[in-house]
Amino acid sequence: MKKAGLLVALLCVLLPVAGQNTAVYLQAGSPILEAAAAAIKASSPAAGLSAPAGPVLLAANKDRAVADLKDLKDKSVKYLYSVGTGPTVFATQDPDFAGIYVFIPNPAGTGLLAHPKWSGVSPYPDPRLVMQYLRTSMGLQKVAVLYTRSKNQEVAKAFQDAADSEKVACVPLGFKEGDDLDQTLGAGLKDAQAVLLLIDPLAFGADQVRFIVSKCLQAKKPVIGFLENLPEAGVPFAIFPPADEFGRTAAAAMKALQDKGEDRRIWYPQRFVMSINQAAAQSLGVPYDSQKVVKAY
């Protein structure tokens, strides 16, 4: 009887480990990504999944990173929540893994849509919900979308389609290398009531963002971004999914992927909140739902 009892106890310890076939693979150094990773771990059980192992941080040394993935495979991990660009690029090169990439601004532009065993969770809230909010809560009937053609053509198209569906006029301001940002932006500001600034860190660094904000504020037109800390740089409004919504969406995407075996879908979070730059927002006088504001700079 003692042996039987020990066997039962051993099984109780081993079964959760055996069922843990997922892990979080994380790009360290970003509070936004770290919060999303923590939310994914917390949300997985509610989706009927075991809590994932990790987070395992992407190592700076390639040999160490290869060894980390091998270690996960040795522990029977088959699926990864890959949070951030670095882990996603590295993990999708290994054909033994499938999973969900999280916070990749434009998966079409990086070739991720060609991986049938991977689907993604966008850093953008559902574009239709964004356009609906701009129209109903902020009173905006015509917006410009500022983006670089080489990096964000597909995302800009998604927002244009959403604007059409929600009866919001949309002016695409496609910017390419060598273009004059002042000229491109000025043309859009003549007609649009606001400018949407897509996530584009390569093209719109700190200096460019300051210029865009200054130009738009002079024209009394709000800039609306999609990263929660943008208002710290003067952007009047940022619309973004909270961490728990990333977690819920990623867990649902993982459940669908495991059920289907393969899935190239891009999942958009269905809930968003806002951060604002108080001085800029007040100077513009644009209405917004204050209950959605979780941070003010």
* DSSP code string of 182-247: HHHHHHHHTT-SEEEE---TTTS-HHHHHHHHHHHHHTT--EEESSTTGGGGT-SEEEE--HHHHH
Q: Using alpha carbons, list the distances in angstroms from residue 19 to 70, 135, 188, 250.
A: 18, 46, 53, 18
Q: Where are the alpha helices (DSSP H) in the chain?
A: 2-19, 31-43, 62-74, 85-91, 127-136, 149-165, 181-189, 206-218, 243-260, 278-284
Q: Are 292 and 274 in contact (CB under 8 A)?
A: yes
Closest CA to 125 of 226, 228, 230: 226
For the chain, domains (ranges, CATH) are 18-123+243-267 (3.40.50.2300), 127-225 (3.40.50.2300)
- Residue 14 is predicted with a pLDDT of 38
Residue 75: HSE in the Cβ half-sphere, 13 Å Cα cutoff = 20
Containing 143, the helix (H) or strand (E) segment is strand 142-148
- Residue 118 is predicted with a pLDDT of 96
Token pair for residue 91?
């993990």
- Residue 178 is predicted with a pLDDT of 67
Q: What is the distance, to the nearest Å, from the Cα of residue 113 to the centroid of all Cα atoms in its chain?
A: 16
Q: Are 213 and 223 in contact (CB under 8 A)?
A: yes
Strands across the sheet containing 237-240: 169-175, 142-148, 194-197, 223-225, 237-240, 273-276, 293-296
Phi, psi angle pair for 269, to nearest 5°: -55, 140
- Residue 13 is predicted with a pLDDT of 37
DSSP state of 47: G
- Residue 19 is predicted with a pLDDT of 52
Encode pLDDT of 24-69 as tens digits.
Answer: 999 999 999 999 999 999 999 999 998 999 999 999 999 999 999 9
Containing 21, the helix (H) or strand (E) segment is none
- Residue 7 is predicted with a pLDDT of 39
3-state secondary structure of 106: coil
Q: Using alpha carbons, list the distances in angstroms from residue 105 to 36, 63, 147, 155, 173.
A: 15, 27, 12, 8, 18
All residue ranges of the chain with pLDDT < 50 are 1-18
DSSP state of 296: E
- Residue 87 is predicted with a pLDDT of 97
